[in-house]
A and B are shown apart, each in its own frame.
Chain A
Amino acid sequence: MKEKLEQIKLEVLKQIEQSDTLEKLNEIRINQLGKKGALTEILKGMKDVTPEERPKIGQLVNDVRIEIETILEDTKVKLEALVMEAKLRNEVIDVTLPANKSKKGHRHPNTIAMEEVERIFIGMGYEVVEGPEVETDYYNFEALNIPADHPAKDEQDTFYINGDILLRTQTSGTQVHEMEKGKLPIRMIAPGRVFRSDEVDATHSPSFHQIEGLVIDKHITFADLKGTLAEFAKELFGEDTKVKFRPHHFNFTEPSAEVDVTCFKCGGSGCRFCKGTGWIEILGCGMVHPNVLKMSGINPEEYSGFAFGMGLERIALLKYEIDDMRLLYENDVRFLKQF
């Protein structure tokens, strides 16, 4: 009996070893361990065994059965792993095939630059405001200390609708609208479209954008203006950016300055962007002229402030190395998609 069991065991193990699919393995299970299997047959033959022997034989049969089941299970796990491996091997894809991107649109480079500037100033507590593009002479000139007959009016090549109404030449008028509201302190920036009668070419456009900034409070100093714009320049052009303030003249500020930043292409060593100087002019600024404060109903003895203004296109062109301003208004998607 013992020998028979041993023989069955060897036979089954051989069969298991030879099976290479899960189906074959299952067949073995049914043939050997099932109701008609060899082991069951032996158990059926127990009636011919003496009662003393029966537990022993039973134990022996059971041991063999457990041994076979264990090996069957192990083999099954191995075979399953092989199947999975084969399946995965079959499913290999060429990962270098083109990506399937959603066709997202793009912001205009001007808007990107504008939002960047807005983000910086909003972070410093400034509110974004807007003013009218078709404006009165008063807000565009007179209230900014540019009286009638002032040559500065000619310098700006204004488009007029009639004697009193014009297309604003600068966003500075928004300062006045804001001051007239009478709510102090003020920290605002005013982005917007402005117009000057320049013929279209690579560096000029009769319509472009400016961002104006204004701070009015008690005890605002020129040092505050310097600090604010230095922070701004670092945020916009990088931590290592230095600023240089040069005296200049604007009617609505006194003292006034033009601000250069270290060239963000060469870092100040001189390149074609900065024409070898290492510096790039980016904005004009100054302390709000006492006449401007007075005209807007603010007491210059009590309050002071600073204002600054910059051309958005200039910043966008420099930042993205765009060499022709006309590209900004052509709206060729091959241009727009680069931003």
Chain B
Amino acid sequence: MNTALSWIKAYVPDLNIGDQEYTDAMTLTGTKVETYERMDKNLEKIYIGQIEAIEKHPDADKLIVCQLNLGFSKLQIVTGANNVKVGDKVPVVIDGGKVAGGHDGTKPENGIVIKNGKLRGIESFGMLCSIDELGCEKAMFPDAPENGIYILPQDATIGDDAVEYLGLKDTVFEYEVTSNRVDCYSVIGIAREAAATFQTPFLKPVVQVKETEQKIEDFLTVEVLDTDLCPRYCARVCTNIKIGPSPSWMQKRLRASGIRPINNLVDITNYVMEEYGQPMHAFDYETVSDKKIIVKRAVDGEEFETLDGVTRKLDSEILMICDGQKYIGIAGIMGGENSKITEDVKTVVFESATFIGANIRKSAKRIGVRTDASGKFEKGLDPRNAEEAINRACQLIEELGCGEVVSGMIDITVPLKELVKIPFSADRINQILGTQIEKETMISIFERLELCYINDEEVIEIPSFRQDLEGIADLAEEVARFYGYDKIPTTLPSGEATTGKLPFHLRVEEKAKDVAEFCGFSQGMCYSFESPKVFDKLLIPMDSELRKTVTISNPLGEDFSIMRTISLNGMLTSLATNYNRRNKDVRLYEFGNVYLPKEVPLKQLPDERMQFTLGMYGEGDFFTMKGVIEEFFETIGMFEKITYNPNAGKPFLHPGRQAEISYKDTVVGYLGEVHPQVLKNYDLGTKSYVAVLDMPSILPFASFERKFVGIAKYPAVLRDISMVVPKEILVGQIEEVIQQRGGKYLEHYELFDLYEGSQIKEGFKSVAYSISFRGKDKTLEEGDITQAMKKILNGLEALNIELRQ
């Protein structure tokens, strides 16, 4: 919302304050000033001058030499403009003065200084100004020529300050109005807040309409068929309309608000919309068939041409304004081409109505047009405001000589809601705020805001324009705003102490991050939504469960349309980004959810599963990645044997270099080398390794409990075995045998040699393990070990493994 300070001052006459001070104070009472701009920025020494003589420049065809009368002096000025004539009054900037812009529309930060000089040998003592040079937008001045000097009306006084005359000695403030303060989307609303902020009187316009003897009933009837969408519809009729320009004070205010002056009738409706926050519409009475207005829903599939010449598609939830035979406007959004006001209009029907905000908002969205009016209606306007606004408009029509007002108003309204009364308790408000503000102070704040304290009921009566106030908490905010948020003390909550803590699963995640970073992995972050094409890139079969996704109905585009069911796409994309930027030896990890629907289409919330995803290329291999996983498991107390099943069945991983990770018979994740085809799909030109751990599966096994087991007192006994093993047997299977059959003295085992080659027969490999045994409470004897070793060897034999001699 943009408004000139002078318009606010029209209702708060005693307001006398600097721009920055005003900004700060308004912001602290809740009417936030986003920015402000002086309209006379870079405009200096610009006066109203009259052209007394014009001669051709002797040496330049396109220049003329003007003699100017500025009252206090007479000047000669050379100009290239061709739209001036003797007798014209024009803005003149004199030596040492400044203009805000060039005639090409540019606006240098510090303006342009004007100095005396010679143009083609003829002296010039200043410059005649165009509207651009005055820092104004041409579109805002319908009377300004396309090219050339801005010629002022003849009532301008020679020698006066032109900037002041044009209403530019003013500041435009841009307010950020919060959505609850519908009343503050109006000049009156802001002015009321300003008066309350600076504790100075607020003078609303006095609305009195001078009416003719004609009666509105003789002109018009109104019927509202769908009152559920239109709680109030007020109509008035004005006759003898004379279209012309609106007065300059009105044009100045509209311009400052960013509204282009057009003619008196249009300007008045726009002016009242800004002033009261109530949009209005004017129909040409001659076009209203049967002298009848009907408000009702449209019929599905019908079309209607709005006054911007566009044909709009209608549906049965769009509210229409109709006459006896046809549609003449889309309620609250835009009038029709067929009833729009032309220069020849004689009689107009003014409409000032209240429509249900949500319906207007949705309708405007469906139709695809958002107007100033619909933007106001969608906030939900006060029905009481409609009446005052239409009367204000009629008053201006009459006062500005734009027309005559027929007596009476047609008012179709549902019963207006009674004014809300909120029980008032100063104690309760002090309890909420933590303050000790006097009751009288509170009441005086309420009065400044036109909230009425009713003594004998101990209630505050809320005026209808404050639809945001419903309960004591709202009153507390009103008190706090004007008492001053900064004056409220600062304390810390008292009461029962609570333990601050990080829940267990987040502690586990923290450990995971620590381990990953220790191992050289940096944390990345990836989006939760991605393209359905990801599945093809990852070679995931058409019938895979992973393709059943939570799908966004209004995504930013297909590339962000599904919630990921697998975390690898983000990781591979990030690795590829790094690879293609020539970063060497990249290691990344990510924590983020996948979203697994319980059914498609979704009826209940999906399963959100936190994934710990690791990815790397460059230094290191499959076993580096495996090491990170084991490091992590040990850190979170998972000391049992981890099983790696090479048949993980992951299509996106190298078929011979992937493993499903299990812990205590539960699958907790997988790791592997990325499939060469997938690397190609991601434009990743180097071998890459990934691992994905499903955190919810891991959590039940994680523990930070530790027990000291004592440092071994008795010596360990080592036995090395060297084996010839069929190639297809995995060392994991050998370890399983050692683990299961090693007996209670088995302490540790370690692979120390692995060989495949010429010295070993075809189809076999050589594997050597070092196994250590240790007793907790005794030195082991030969017999203890022999027995265990025998069991192990028997087990190995069953796998077709031979001992090497």
Q: Residues of A at under 8 Å CB distance from B?
A: 102-108, 110-111, 115, 118, 121-130, 132-136, 149-152, 154-155, 159-162, 165, 167, 185, 187, 193, 195, 197, 199, 206-207, 215, 217-224, 226-228, 230-231, 244-249, 251, 254-257, 287, 289-290, 304, 328-334, 336-337
Contacts and interface: CB of A to CB of B under 8 A. Distances in A.
B196 to A, nearest CB: 12
Nearest to A260: B27
Contacts of A337: 522
Interface-centre pick from B434, B471, B521, B588 (highest chain A CB count, 10 A): B434
A207 B432 contact: no
A336 B522 contact: yes
Given A125-B500, A136-B605, A249-B178, A221 B431 contact: yes
A254 B358 contact: no
A219 B431 contact: yes
A255 B574 contact: no
Interface in B391-430: none
A332 to B, nearest CB: 6
30 contacts: A106-B523, A125-B497, A125-B498, A127-B503, A128-B503, A130-B503, A132-B608, A133-B528, A134-B605, A134-B606, A193-B528, A197-B554, A206-B556, A217-B495, A217-B496, A221-B432, A222-B433, A245-B486, A246-B485, A247-B481, A249-B181, A254-B476, A255-B476, A255-B480, A287-B432, A290-B472, A328-B525, A330-B577, A331-B574, A331-B590
Interface residues of B, number: 91
B430 to A, nearest CB: 9
Interface in B604-628: 605-606, 608
B378 to A, nearest CB: 6
B117 interface: no
Given A127-B498, A227-B492, A249-B179, A161 B553 contact: yes
Interface string B567-582: 0000000100110010
B51 interface: no
Contacts of A244: 486
Contacts of A115: 510
Interface-centre pick from A102, A118, A245, A331 (highest chain B CB count, 10 A): A331
Interface of B: 27-30, 32, 178-181, 357-358, 361, 378-379, 431-435, 468, 471-474, 476-477, 480-481, 485-486, 488-503, 506, 510, 513, 516-529, 550-556, 560, 563, 574, 577-578, 581, 583, 585-590, 592-593, 595, 601-602, 605-606, 608
A254 B519 contact: no
Say whether chain A's binding surface is mostly helix, strand, loop, or mixed: mixed
Given A124-B500, A127-B503, A219-B431, A151 B378 contact: yes
A329 B499 CA distance: 34
A111 B513 contact: yes
A105 B473 contact: no
Contacts of A102: 520
A130 B471 CA distance: 31
Given A128-B506, A221-B434, A222-B433, A165 B605 contact: yes
Given A106-B517, A221-B435, A251-B180, 6 more contacts: A133-B528, A185-B495, A187-B498, A221-B432, A223-B489, A224-B493
Contact of B30 (A135, A136, A246): A246
Given A224-B491, A246-B27, A122 B500 contact: yes
B602 A162 contact: yes
B473 A195 contact: no
A305 B180 CA distance: 21
Contacts of A218: 495
Nearest to B379: A151
A287 B556 contact: no
A229 to B, nearest CB: 9
A135 to B, nearest CB: 7
A185 B496 contact: yes
A246 B552 contact: no
Contacts of B577: 330-332
Contacts of A333: 522, 578, 583, 586, 588
Contacts of A304: 431-432
B480 A222 contact: yes
B574 A247 contact: no
Given A127-B500, A330-B574, A254 B473 contact: yes
Contacts of A223: 433-435, 488-491
B23 to A, nearest CB: 10
Contacts of B490: 223, 226-227, 230
A228 B493 contact: yes
